[in-house]
Amino acid sequence: MPELFTNDWATNYKELWNSNDGIAKELGQSNFNSVVAFGIEGEDDPRVVLTISNGQIITAGTPNGELINWDLRASNENWMALVAKPPGLMKLGLAYTSRKLKFKKGDYAVMIKDPRLSTAFVKCFALMGKAVN
């Protein structure tokens, strides 16, 4: 069982994201392209970086000098809580306002106002837990 934000986890996450049950298709319809990072609060570098093109994760793994658009951070404990019981939009909003989930890069308000992005954002947490198992 891979730990959260390892290369094994990133590989599993990429496969889940790009699968029929993932979110690649709906983000692809929006022509979503971005570089998204996840990491632990207080660490300089993210633990994993996802390069997304037309909704599909193209690369997933440790940082390799990519220009990151979104960098989400939380304590390990808060990540595990968000992954163990995937949150809805309200719980994510509470995590953000209480500073349990931080955007080191990217704008939460912009993302949450776009229904295509906010729906995918919620779904990405459910996939995170599945990638650990």
CATH number at residue 55: 3.30.1050.10
Whether 84 maps to a domain, the answer reads: yes
| Cβ pair 74, 39 in contact under 8 A | no
Q: At residue 117, does pLDDT exceed 90?
A: no
Whether 33 maps to a domain, the answer reads: yes
Strand order across the beta sheet in which 34-40 lies: 56-61, 48-53, 34-40, 70-74, 102-105
Reduced to 3 states, what is the DSSP secondary structure of residue 43? coil
What's phi and psi for 48, nearest 5 deg? -145, 145
- The per-residue pLDDT of the chain, averaged, comes to 91
| Cβ pair 68, 36 in contact under 8 A | yes
pLDDT tens digits, residue range 48-81?
999 999 999 999 999 999 999 999 999 999 999 9
Q: At residue 2, does pLDDT exceed 60?
A: no
Q: At residue 21, does pLDDT exceed 90?
A: no
Range of the domain at 110: 7-132
Q: β-strand 56-61 against 48-53: which pairing, if any?
A: antiparallel
| Cβ pair 31, 71 in contact under 8 A | no
Whether 2 maps to a domain, the answer reads: no
Number of structural domains in the chain: 1
Whether 96 maps to a domain, the answer reads: yes
Can you tell me the mean pLDDT for 17-45? Answer: 92
Its pTM stands at 0.91
Whether 42 maps to a domain, the answer reads: yes
